[in-house]
Amino acid sequence: MSEDPKLGALRKGFLEFLVLRIIGGSTVYAADILKKLATTDFATQEGTLYPLLSRLRREGLLDYQWQESEAGPPRKYYRLTAAGERQLREFHAYWARLNRTIDSIGS
Amino acid sequence: MRPVISVSLNGRAYQFEDDAHAALAIYLDSAERALAGNPDRGEILADLEQAIADKCARFLHPHKTVIVRSEIEQVVREMGPVDCGAANDTPRDSASSGAGTAAGEADGAAAAPKRLYQISDGALLSGVCKGIAVYLNVDVTLVRLLFVVAAVLTGGLAVLVYSVMMFIVPYANTPEEHPAARGLPFNVRVLVEQAKLKAAQLAEAAARAGRTKGSRGRL
């Protein structure tokens, strides 16, 4: 818990990218996203994820469908829209460029 | 025997012990506040309710049908505070005045049911201390202790205050009045912090008074 707050701010910005990447080309249930993030530095709670998913949907980057589940009520399954896929590609390209910059700028 | 409150979480009925219900209400209320001005507020709240319901389900079995406080507290910890990434949400900045009034209205709406009651259930005398403890969400023993300390410090004035409250403060009788005794979450939290602070200050002052008395005694 004694983590540098600067790293925390950096991570917050990347969460959106990771969520888009986890959804990727498939359809994903919110609990799957949390499970995938849980074991990483990006461990996230529902209180953060749901507002983020809702904002990404409002921005047209993702969409959801209701699907029946064997146990319990129907669930939302998220998938990327065309705009979301484009955004993910841009993120990837930017990340690669950023990495190259960080690697090269010190030498 | 504890009162149980039934609530609908996203369309399914769940039963909570009264203090567990209060803890849930605090969380959902703070979520509502955090989402004030968010166009998808209703939908996000429904998502959160569903997630809470899913998490509660693991505590429920055919022979255990009621959620208790420690369980809902664990669920709320797992859910985490509702954070809509202020930096990314333009409505917050561009329409801050609108969001402000919305938050203000939410405060007003939530403030309405807040009431101080006497609670005879588990009371030593009349239930004034118990009512205050529930109102402030602190241990009843702490309130009683403070009353005794205050009675000593004020030379009996606190006893008079207690007697007056006995007659003035109404009793919580109906199931609706019990949760109402817990009142507005935000204020409760503030009041608890204030009460804790005051208790600490009082304890410190008492310790100081004890020390000076002690040292004087030795002189």
Spans of all domains in chain B: 4-106
| CA angle at A81 for the pair A75 and A84, rounded to the nearest 5° | 110
Give the residue with greater pLDDT, B84 vs B160: B160
Report the predicted TM-score, pTM, of the whole model to 2 decimal places.
0.58
Task: Tell whether A55 lies on the interface with B, counting CB pairs under 8 A.
Answer: yes
Percent of chain B at pLDDT > 70 equals 69
Question: Least CB-CB distance to B89: which of A48, A53, A55?
Answer: A55
| pLDDT surpassing 70 at residue B145 | yes
Task: Tell whether A36 lies on the interface with B, counting CB pairs under 8 A.
Answer: no
Looking at residue B176, what is its pLDDT?
A: 54
- Please report which confidence band the pLDDT of residue B161 belongs to, taking 50, 70 and 90 as the band edges: confident
User: What number is the ipTM of this complex?
Assistant: 0.86
Contact residues, B window 21-50, toward A, CB-based 8 Å cutoff: 31, 35, 38-40, 43-44, 47-48, 50
- d(CA B14, CA B6) in angstroms, rounded, equals 6
Contact B134, B187 (CB under 8 A): no
Residues of A in contact with B38 (CB under 8 A): 51, 54
Q: What is the pLDDT of residues A49-72, one digit of tens each?
A: 999 999 999 999 999 999 887 777
- Determine the average pLDDT of the residues in A13-41: 91
Q: B121: closest CA among B146, B140, B137?
A: B140
Q: Which residues neighbour B9 within 8 Å (Cβ) at sequence distance 6 or greater?
A: B49, B50, B52, B53, B56
Among B6-10, B39-43, B199-203, B208-212, the least confident range:
B208-212
Edge-to-edge strand ranges of the sheet holding B12-17: B4-9, B12-17, B66-67
Interface test with B, best of A16, A29, A50 (most B CBs within 10 A): A50
Cβ–Cβ pairs < 8 A, chains A and B: 61
Q: Which amino acid is at A91?
A: F
Going by their DSSP bridges, the two strands A62-67 and A75-80 should be labelled as: antiparallel
**What average pLDDT does the structure give for chain A?**
89
Residues of B in contact with A53 (CB under 8 A): 47
